[in-house]
A = this chain, B = another copy of it.
Amino acid sequence: MARALASGSRMLMLDEPLSALDARVRMELRYEIRRIVKRLGITVLHVTHDQEEAMSVSDRIILMRKGRIFETGTPLDMYRSPKSIFAAYFIGETNLMECTVESKRKGGGVILRLRNDVPVNVSKSKANVGEIAILSVRPEHVYTATDGLKAHVRDVVFMGTYWRVRTEAESQDYVDYNIPADSQMPEIGEEVYLVFNKKASRVFKRPKEGLTEAIKLE
């Protein structure tokens, strides 16, 4: 990298610069690369297969799929408001649930029906009333409550900063959520009720090729 910079280039291409490194070193060097690049004011095309790395080093992500540009945007936009199901699924983690759009109110507010007729409210939907759609909710936007989507805890995994809870919901979907590492861990088999952050939920039209194909990785 130093040699390339010494040539006076204003643009640098880094092809998986951190992929061969240990995860701990990789995290440190991410910040370092970004710091140097910003200080020098140069442009870097940084190729990576690590989504967190992409989000943390870049000003703009170009998401490639099957050798073509699939979607572009700032890390923030792409994480919060992905244009496609593939981006929602690929950048970060998300729960995808098949649903039908039951009704839409003018001022906002959409009622969906998951499988087994379970109702869910969200703020907006790209699919129209009557259409089959895909609801996308990230694990950090799923909370437990006294009422909501009934689910059973199937697995609890320690992730360091949080517990990842995997549940099987009455809508036949697997729904994951996170709880802080210092909170009470749920029991395997325990019944929980899940609610979704309405504003952070995304509803996509069901892809013509089917959901499995739409999120398929190479």
Given A35-B155, A138-B161, decide whether A51 and B23 contact each other with a Cβ distance below 8 A.
Answer: yes
Closest 5 CB pairs of A and B: A92-B160, A23-B50, A56-B157, A75-B158, A140-B161
Tell me if A31 counts as interface (CB < 8 A to partner B).
Answer: yes
Does chain B have a CB within 8 A of A106? no
Residue on B nearest A182 in the bound complex, by CB: B200
Note all chain B residues with C-beta closer than 8 A to A75. 158, 160
The copy count of this chain in the complex is 2
Given contacts A49-B22, A49-B23, contact A31 B159 (CB under 8 A): no
A interface list, Cβ under 8 A from B:
22-25, 27, 31, 34-35, 49-52, 55-56, 75-76, 79-80, 89-93, 138, 140, 155, 157-161, 164, 166, 178, 181-182, 200, 217
Contact residues in B for A89 (Cβ distance below 8 Å):
24
Can you offer 14 A-B residue contacts whose CB atoms are under 8 A? A23-B49, A31-B155, A31-B157, A31-B166, A34-B157, A55-B159, A55-B160, A56-B158, A56-B159, A75-B160, A76-B158, A79-B158, A92-B161, A138-B161
Provide the residues of chain B in CB contact with A76, threshold 8 Å: 158
Contact B140 A56 (CB under 8 A): no
Q: Report how far A166 CA is from B34 CA in the complex, Å.
A: 13
A93:B158 contact, CB within 8 angstroms: no
Q: A50-B23, A76-B158, A79-B158 are in contact. Are A164 and B93 (CB under 8 A)?
A: no
Closest Cβ neighbor of A50 among chain B residues? B23
**A24 and B217 contact, Cβ closer than 8 Å, known pairs A31-B157, A56-B158, A159-B55:** yes
